Structure 1
Amino acid sequence: MTHARARAVDAYKVGESTNIKWHEGAVDRETRERALGQRGCVLWFTGLSGSGKSTVAYTLEHELFKRGKIAQVLDGDNIRHGLNSNLGFTAADREENIRRIGEVSKLYADSGMITLVSFISPYKKDRLAVRERVGDRFVEVYMKIPLSVCEERDPKGLYKAARAGKIKGFTGIDDPYEEPVNAEIEMEVAKEDGVLAPPRDMAHKIIEYLDAKGFLKAD
């Protein structure tokens, strides 16, 4: 078969193909949720680098497991080691980074998983696109913290490198972070004094929210 012919019948290009159909499974979401005793959802942790997103997400995962709930953290750094290892930090790559993990998080939530997504996700339109895909099971968690505190903490040395011009397009320095306006949960990680809220306390507040909204039990 010639290369031209191969391109003409490429059924893996979903947007151009009529051969790829959606298949419904024999076990629906509600059945899975009853088996797990919880409702699938996506908790989307967004905030500046160094705002404590992953720390709180992993603390929350542990606290949920202690309560017999099934949760999974999808961490931005970890995902860039595999699924998104071919993406950089241009605006287009950032958008694709969030689109991919948004689709993955939706699949997890549809399986009944309490899905904890820890991504900077600096652009409102990208977070909104995921919200629209996930629907009313999307919970935005804004890790609110002054930029100055993140720079002071700088656990990975990234702010220092960005200020020195060694990293270009770094969120909060020479690339914007667009704060959520109406996040379901706004977590005040620290004020200008730099005193950090304990991760376990923040995790417990999120658990209270999940319990109140009925995510920790199945109908």
Structure 2
Amino acid sequence: MVCQTVPRKESGFTLWLTGLSGSGKSTLARIVGLEAGARGRKVEILDADEVREHLFPESGLIRQERYNQIKRVAYLAKLLSRNGVLVISAVPSPYREMREYVRAQHSGNFIEVFLKAPLETCMARDVRGHYQKALTGGIRWFTGITEPYEEPLDPELIVETHRATPEESARRIIRKLEALGYL
């Protein structure tokens, strides 16, 4: 039996964007996804709002509910990536334990990118008013206000989104994917 290895440029993988709400996950997922698609990659974006609305509307914001949602998204990402899809996850995963679980579900084809931005910047970018609601008690469990965000200890890439435009930030991610042989 001959075992052939699929070149990285043809294999699926998961790009896991993590950071506070407002750090740029959805925006960068769209920009990177468009570029990867233009290069012939099959791309699926798992965006938190869409995942919650269409797949798991019962999911809440307390830790266990978030963990259950992350487990489901991790499984979905694994299924897609093993079928040659570049999966870009723009789902809040505030706890290291959650992200370690996700990484363990993928057989090496996993890239964690920490989108780092100060809380003040994320609050200023918040067009939906979630931070304000959390500050006034309208949202009980909200990462960065009433719940912690545990920064990754060893992500493949850190992008300080407050120091660059979305296009420049996306370019850093794309360069990393090129360097790793995925694009």
Structure 1 consecutive aligned stretches of length 4 or more whose deviation exceeds 3 Å: none
Corresponding residue for residue 208 of structure 1 = 175
Task: Note the C-alpha offset of 1:103.
Answer: 0.4
Task: Note the C-alpha offset of 1:157.
Answer: 0.5
Q: Which of 79, 86, 98 is the equivalent residue of 1:126?
A: 98
Give the total of aligned pairs.
181
Report Cα offsets for 1:124-156 as digits up to 9, x if no partner.
101100100113111001000000111122221
**Counterpart code for 2:140:** K
Q: Distance in 2 between matches of 1:43 and 1:214?
A: 13
Q: Distance in 1 between matches of 2:13 and 2:146?
A: 33
Corresponding residue for residue 146 of structure 2 = 174
Instruction: For residue 81 of structure 1, give the secondary structure of its aligned residue in structure 2.
Output: helix
Q: Which of 49, 52, 57 is the equivalent residue of 2:21?
A: 49
Q: Distance in 1 between matches of 2:125 and 2:178?
A: 32
Q: Distance in 2 between matches of 1:29 and 1:168?
A: 51
Q: Which moved more, 1:171-180 or 1:152-161?
A: 152-161
Distance 1:94 1:29, change over 3 A: farther
Instruction: For residue 54 of structure 2, give the secondary structure of its aligned residue in structure 1.
Output: coil
Instruction: For residue 70 of structure 2, give the secondary structure of its aligned residue in structure 1.
Output: helix
Corresponding residue for residue 12 of structure 2 = 40
TM-score normalised per structure 2? 0.93
Q: Distance in 2 between matches of 1:29 and 1:56?
A: 33
Matches within 5 A, 1:58-207: 58-190=30-162, 197-207=164-174
Distance 1:213 1:85, change over 3 A: same
Q: Distance in 2 between matches of 1:159 and 1:80?
A: 18
Task: Kindly indicate whether the alpha-carbon contact (under 8 Å) linking 1:74 and 1:117 is maintained by their aligned counterparts in 2.
Answer: yes
Report Cα offsets for 1:154-185 as digits up to 9, x if no partner.
22101111111111011000111111111101
Q: Distance in 2 between matches of 1:29 and 1:140?
A: 27
Distance 1:122 1:29, change over 3 A: farther
Distance 1:165 1:125, change over 3 A: same
Task: Kindly indicate whether the alpha-carbon contact (under 8 Å) linking 2:9 and 2:181 is maintained by their aligned counterparts in 1.
Answer: no
**Counterpart code for 1:148:** E
Q: What 5-or-longer segments of structure 1 have no aligned partner?
A: 1-27, 191-195
Q: Distance in 2 between matches of 1:68 and 1:206?
A: 17
Task: Note the C-alpha offset of 1:203.
Answer: 1.7
Task: Kindly indicate whether the alpha-carbon contact (under 8 Å) linking 1:63 and 1:203 is maintained by their aligned counterparts in 2.
Answer: no
Relative contact order (alpha carbons < 8 A, sep ≥ 6): 1 or 2 greater?
2
Identity of aligned residues (%): 38
Between structure 1 and structure 2, the one with the greater Rg is 1
Q: Distance in 2 between matches of 1:152 and 1:207?
A: 26
**Counterpart code for 1:146:** P
Instruction: For residue 87 of structure 2, give the secondary structure of its aligned residue in structure 1.
Output: strand
